[in-house]
Chains A and B, each alone.
Chain A
Amino acid sequence: EAQVTQNPRYLITVTGKKLTVTCSQNMNHEYMSWYRQDPGLGLRQIYYSMNVEVTDKGDVPEGYKVSRKEKRNFPLILESPSPNQTSLYFCASSPRRGVGYFGPGTRLTVT
């Protein structure tokens, strides 16, 4: 079954404690991206990757890092999370530049 998986699905953490949200796709897609969704602001792109070892900033990259060492995986790293990063996060993959398929989401709360 073609899918995008994210883990964890829910996470409550404290300010400053580094965390990683994993994203994996089994469709051999080249393009992957991360979004955050906040009430009233909609979905905003954090980072995207056109292929292995190729990543670029989206609209709201501050406070986030990504890596693309393998085609299937695109983890999102928060080195020092802050409360304003409390949000619903989605990973997405697509065979070419675009949005394509979303993962189920990760609800992150930073206290």
Chain B
Amino acid sequence: RKEVEQDPGPFNVPEGATVAFNCTYSNSASQSFFWYRQDCRKEPKLLMSVYSSGNEDGRFTAQLNRASQYISLLIRDSKLSDSATYLCVVNGGSSASKIIFGSGTRLSIRP
């Protein structure tokens, strides 16, 4: 089983839709969590950290469920510019300094 798993997609949704994806992690000792966004052939960029209490940044909401060991990302009122691959990142897997990336979920927003 992979340490961090994501549905690869692609998710193809119309502009204005709400879309959500999850990411599961295997190590209950994992300490911090992030969502990154990667555009084709570009470097990943930090979208948001994920806090235990959940957090929101504009149209984006991230949540952490430690009991079920998953994090989620919700995008409301999706824009064409949201089309990208979203990477789940877990810090502190089997060692405190280990950083594990999910393989990413591809999202495509259609007009």
B55, CB-defined interface residue at 8 Å: no
B43 touches A50 (CB 8 A): no
B103 touches A105 (CB 8 A): no
The B-contacting residues of A in range 44-69, CB under 8 angstroms, are: 44-45, 48, 50, 56, 58-59
The A-contacting residues of B in range 35-81, CB under 8 angstroms, are: 36, 41-46
A56 / chain B contacts, CB cutoff of 8 Å: 97
B96 / chain A contacts, CB cutoff of 8 Å: 97
| Of A40, A42, A44, A105, the contact of B43 (CB 8 Å cutoff) | A105
Task: Name the residue in A42, A56, A101 with the highest tally of chain B Cβ atoms < 10 Å from its Cβ.
Answer: A42
| Of B34, B43, B100, B103, the contact of A102 (CB 8 Å cutoff) | B43
A98 touches B34 (CB 8 A): yes
Q: Which size class do A's interface residues fall under?
A: 20 to 34
Residue of B nearest to A97 (CB): B97
B87 touches A42 (CB 8 A): yes
B104 touches A42 (CB 8 A): yes
B84 to chain A, nearest CB (A): 14
> Given A99-B36, A99-B89, are A45 and B99 neighbors across the interface (CB < 8 Å)?
yes
> Given A101-B46, A102-B45, are A42 and B36 neighbors across the interface (CB < 8 Å)?
no
B43 touches A104 (CB 8 A): yes
A75, CB-defined interface residue at 8 Å: no
A97 touches B91 (CB 8 A): yes
B101 touches A43 (CB 8 A): yes
The A-contacting residues of B in range 18-47, CB under 8 angstroms, are: 32, 34, 36, 41-46
The chain A residues found within 8 Å of chain B, CB to CB, are 33, 35, 40-45, 48, 50, 56, 58-59, 90, 97-105
12 contacts between A and B (CB under 8 A): A42-B87, A42-B102, A43-B87, A45-B99, A58-B99, A98-B32, A99-B44, A99-B91, A100-B46, A103-B43, A104-B43, A105-B43
